[in-house]
Amino acid sequence: MNIKTISVIGAGSVGGFYGAMLQKAGYNVQFFSNYLKSGLLTIKSVWGDFQINISVYNDTKQMELSDLIIITTKVYTDIPYLSLLEPILKPNSIVLFLQNGINQEENFKAQLSKNQKLKKYDLMILGGLAFTCINRISSREIHHLDYGAIKIGSLDKKNHNYAKEVSKLFTNAGIQSESVLNLRKARWEKLLWNIAFNTLSVIGHNVTTDVIVNSKNSLFLAENLMKEILFIAEKEKNSPGRKKIQEMIDKTIKMKPYKTSMLIDYENHKPLEIEAIIGEPLKLAKKYKLDTPYLKFCYHLLKFLDEQNQKK
């Protein structure tokens, strides 16, 4: 696998940080972003501070063809991924969805199969989960506060070697990374944290992670949200295991006080990733005929809060 040019699509805090790390390691990285700006980007990280000059575009038609495309956009249903990626695709490009939520890779593959022009491409579809605390301070500064490991898997298990190679690429750039054979299971694992802490950070009246883990009441809600995610994952036989609930809580207790990505979006009156993080699991719960009252309540409350927030 010969990766020379890497494109980061939707670069904000996560895409900006990991893209900068890859560029620092010597890769040719180009950024598509509405947030970052070309020029000097300052990274303040628990892994070491640095500055680097980056190239940012607002039109993929101006970008080079890419060997590896890392998608770090927020997960919204109206993003036209195919038309966005088409100008930079090679017939054998690797597309890595480094996002929250579940079903992104499956939905992309379904869109690809319906596209007469692109379905002939032998695209390798990977998924990635970033277990990290990163905030974008401005268009020219990103803070990496804690953790940072990435898990990478292939949508099709027979292509696991590609996940292994991309994971090595991240590791060689100084990013803690590992490949996983079961991508679906890894996505459910990441959802355990997102479903609890992203959700409660907003509906708990704009609170950071330390506030949530220091209250018996919010911990009760967090645990029950995570249990319902496990019910769905267990039905699929992709459960990361019941022990992961306490593991997620313990990691969050040790974490520096952190504003979740959903809370930051809420404070900036941006749309929330409700469908990817809660909506998709709810659809699966309905499909499997599972009762998930905590998920359902939080979904509708978040939708209401988001509607009101968009009017401000």
pLDDT digits (tens, 9 = 90+) for 226-262: 999 999 999 999 999 999 999 999 999 999 999 999 9
SS3 sequence, the chain?
CCCCEEEEECCCHHHHHHHHHHHHCCCEEEEECCCCCCEEEEEEECCCCEEEEECEECCHHHCCCCCEEEECCCCCCCCCHHHHHHHHCCCCCEEEEECCCCCHHHHHHHHHHHCCCCCCCCCEEEEEEEEEEEEEEECCEEEEEEEEEEEEEECCHHHHHHHHHHHHHHHHCCCCEEECCCHHHHHHHHHHHHHHHHHHHHHCCCCCHHHHHCCHHHHHHHHHHHHHHHHHHHHCCCCCCCHHHHHHHHHHHHCCCCCCHHHHHHHCCCCCCHHHHHHHHHHHHHHCCCCCHHHHHHHHHHHHHHHHHHCC
Which one of the listed residues 109, 190, 283, 287 is annotated catalytic?
Answer: 190
Query: For residue 208, what are the domain limits?
Result: 184-310
Determine the Cα–Cα distance for residues 210 and 167; give it in Å rounded to an integer. Answer: 31
Task: Please indicate, yes or no, whether residues 121 and 234 belong to a single structural domain of this protein.
Answer: no
Query: Predicted confidence band at 21 (pLDDT cuts at 50, 70, 90)?
Result: very high
Q: What is the mean pLDDT of residues 183-211?
A: 97
CATH of the domain at 268: 1.10.1040.10
Arithmetic mean of pLDDT over the chain: 95
* pLDDT for residue 77: 72
Q: Count of domains in the chain?
A: 2
Query: Predicted confidence band at 1 (pLDDT cuts at 50, 70, 90)?
Result: confident
* pLDDT for residue 312: 79
Query: Predicted confidence band at 217 (pLDDT cuts at 50, 70, 90)?
Result: very high
Task: Please indicate, yes or no, whether residues 246 and 160 belong to a single structural domain of this protein.
Answer: no
Residues 165-190 pLDDT 10s:
999 999 999 999 999 999 999 999 99
From 141, 157, 181, the end of a domain falls on 181
Task: Please indicate, yes or no, whether residues 61 and 192 belong to a single structural domain of this protein.
Answer: no
Query: Predicted confidence band at 25 (pLDDT cuts at 50, 70, 90)?
Result: very high
Residues 60-99 pLDDT 10s:
999 999 999 999 999 987 788 999 999 999 999 999 999 9
Task: Please indicate, yes or no, whether residues 120 and 235 belong to a single structural domain of this protein.
Answer: no
Residue 216 is among the residues annotated as catalytic for this protein: no
Residues 93-143 pLDDT 10s:
999 999 999 999 999 999 998 888 887 788 999 999 999 999 999 999 999
From 119, 153, 181, the end of a domain falls on 181
Task: Please indicate, yes or no, whether residues 29 and 152 belong to a single structural domain of this protein.
Answer: yes
From 134, 157, 181, the end of a domain falls on 181
Query: Predicted confidence band at 19 (pLDDT cuts at 50, 70, 90)?
Result: very high
pTM of the model: 0.94
Task: Please indicate, yes or no, whether residues 155 and 191 belong to a single structural domain of this protein.
Answer: no
Task: Please indicate, yes or no, whether residues 160 and 193 belong to a single structural domain of this protein.
Answer: no
Task: Please indicate, yes or no, whether residues 144 and 279 belong to a single structural domain of this protein.
Answer: no
* pLDDT for residue 2: 87
Task: Please indicate, yes or no, whether residues 154 and 258 belong to a single structural domain of this protein.
Answer: no
CATH of the domain at 116: 3.40.50.720
By the 8 A CB rule, do 73 and 174 touch? Answer: no
Task: Please indicate, yes or no, whether residues 267 and 240 belong to a single structural domain of this protein.
Answer: yes
Task: Please indicate, yes or no, whether residues 162 and 201 belong to a single structural domain of this protein.
Answer: no
Task: Please indicate, yes or no, whether residues 109 and 211 belong to a single structural domain of this protein.
Answer: no
Give yes or no for residue 279 having a pLDDT over 80: yes
